[in-house]
Chain A
Amino acid sequence: EIVMTQSPATLSVSPGERATLSCRASQSIRSNLAWYQLKPGQAPRLLIYGASTRATGIPARFTGSGSGTEFTLTISSLQSEDFAVYYCQQYNNWPPLTFGGGTKVEIK
């Protein structure tokens, strides 16, 4: 099973600032990585797939990068609606599909 590790667990950022979230895989997953945004009471939202491809309708301020075992999600200028929990997920080698533990982006 591929273990996904996200850091930090919590990120405190002021609106308008940049947020950088990290995700590490326990073995190479090439570029088979997705990022999701979760808000309470809402459906999870796909942000990025293929490590760097923005999903339909996702603003350009969300950028995914990396390959192999190290990945990053960057939110260039945080908007109020971006405060949420973010999960990375590998789909290179499954089952099982595995998610990281999440990073909570909170208002500083």
Chain B
Amino acid sequence: EVQLVESGGGLVTPGGSLRLSCATSEFTFSSYSMTWVRQAPGKGLEWVSSISSSSSYIYYADSVKGRFTISRDNAKDSLYLQMNSLRAEDTAVYYCARDILIFGSSGAFDYWGQGTLVTVSS
């Protein structure tokens, strides 16, 4: 069964940094584009960042551009999100998700993790 497990969330002060990880299993990670999506408390889903299977294409939402960096390690079947200069409005549950297309980037996601909570507060 395909699994995605996020980790690395926690409480951080404004201006601080955090690195999220998404460990995957039971599929060929290196063949799929991956994405981070977040949900702030009481709010809807917000796309954060996407990375293609070989890291050739990387995209960010304007709200995180210049502060967040997405990366992946295909040898470790893992996805990462380095979050710097964190703000209160970055408080959210962060989900990693797999694209439905193999060797492509459709922008739709068939498997998601359960999320990791990031709280930015002093």
Contacts of A87 in B (CB 8 A): 44-45
**Contact (A94, B59) CB under 8 Å given A49-B100, A89-B45, A99-B45:** yes
**Could you say which of A41, A44, A91 contacts B106, with CB atoms under 8 Å apart?**
A91
Asked whether any CB of chain B lies closer than 8 Å to the CB of A59, the reply is no
Chain A 55-97 residues near chain B, CB threshold 8 A: 55-56, 87, 89, 91, 94-97
Q: In the complex the two chains form, is A99's CB within 8 Å of B47's CB?
A: yes
Does B112 contact A96, Cβ atoms closer than 8 Å? no
- Which of A41, A45, A94, A101 lies at the interface centre, i.e. has the most chain B CB atoms within 10 A of its CB? A94
* Total number of A residues with any Cβ neighbor in B under 8 Å: 25
Q: Are A95 and B50 neighbours in the complex by a CB distance under 8 Å?
A: yes
Q: CA–CA, A91 to B110, complex, Å?
A: 13
Chain B contact-residue range equals 20 to 34
Majority SS at the chain B contact face: strand
A interface majority secondary structure: loop
The 9 A-B pairs with the shortest beta carbon distances in the complex, nearest first, are A91-B107, A97-B47, A95-B59, A34-B108, A99-B45, A43-B112, A44-B112, A49-B108, A43-B114
Asked if A19 is an interface residue, CB under 8 A from chain B, the answer is no
State the CA gap A96–B62 with chains docked (Å).
Answer: 8
CB closest chain-B residue, reference A45? B112
| Nearest CB in chain B: distance from A82 CB, A | 18
Complex Cα spacing A32 to B107, Å: 9
Contact between B44 and A100, CB atoms less than 8 A apart = yes
Closest CB in chain A relative to B104 CB, distance in Å: 11
Contact between chains at A95 and B61 (CB < 8 Å):
yes
Q: Cβ of A43 and Cβ of B115 under 8 Å apart? A: yes
Q: A41, A49, A100, A101 — which one has the most chain B CB atoms within 10 A of its CB?
A: A49
**Which among A45, A56, A89 is the interface contact of B108 at CB below 8 angstroms?**
A89
Please, how many angstroms separate the alpha-carbon atoms of A17 and B113 in the complex?
A: 31
Given contacts A44-B95, A99-B44, contact A55 B115 (CB under 8 A): no
